[in-house]
Homo-oligomer: A and B are copies of this chain.
Amino acid sequence: MIFLEQHSKYRELLKREGIKNTKHRTAILEILEESDSPKTAEQLFISLKDKTASIDMSTVYRTLDTFTSKNLVVKSNRVDDGKALYEFNHHEHKHHLLCVGCHKLISIEDCPIGELQQILKRKIDFDITGHKLEIYGYCRDCKNFKEPSTDSEDV
């Protein structure tokens, strides 16, 4: 049964990192892995109330910090309000499309950088280890209703 597989999967993940297995931790990992977009601590907190017994926000934050430092989770910041976002680290290189109309966040597999990174690496005196690319625009649902463009640039 999938349930058991999942359960032991997270158990192993935690063991590998040398941290204890708790219901809160597996629940958080499960929610994050299943979701296709990054979540705030608050959103997690709400989801957790359905899944497990109640949990304290400080535990949510502490757990997410731990996961982030172990690279089980990737932390970022939401563009509009700077609030912290957390997503399961699938260890795959991907990017996001952010709709400036409805604030939807869409994952894409393509990495437009790749070889360009190599070129830059030689061109500048800087040892590149990674990058973050975010693309802005209007999603399918919003593109027909978008306002005439402002003079904002380099978003």
Contact = CB atoms under 8 A, between A and B. Distances in A.
B89 A153 contact: yes
A126 B131 contact: no
Interface of A: 71, 74, 77, 79, 82-84, 89, 91-94, 97, 99-100, 106, 108, 110, 112-113, 116-117, 120, 123-140, 143, 146, 149-155
Contacts of A82: 77, 82-84
Contacts of A74: 154
**Stoichiometry (number of copies):** 2
Contacts of A71: 150-153
Contacts of A133: 113, 131-134
Nearest to A129: B137
A154 B91 contact: yes
A138 B116 contact: no
A64 to B, nearest CB: 13
11 contacts: A89-B153, A89-B154, A92-B154, A93-B154, A106-B126, A126-B138, A127-B146, A128-B135, A130-B154, A131-B135, A132-B134
A36 to B, nearest CB: 16
B153 A126 contact: no
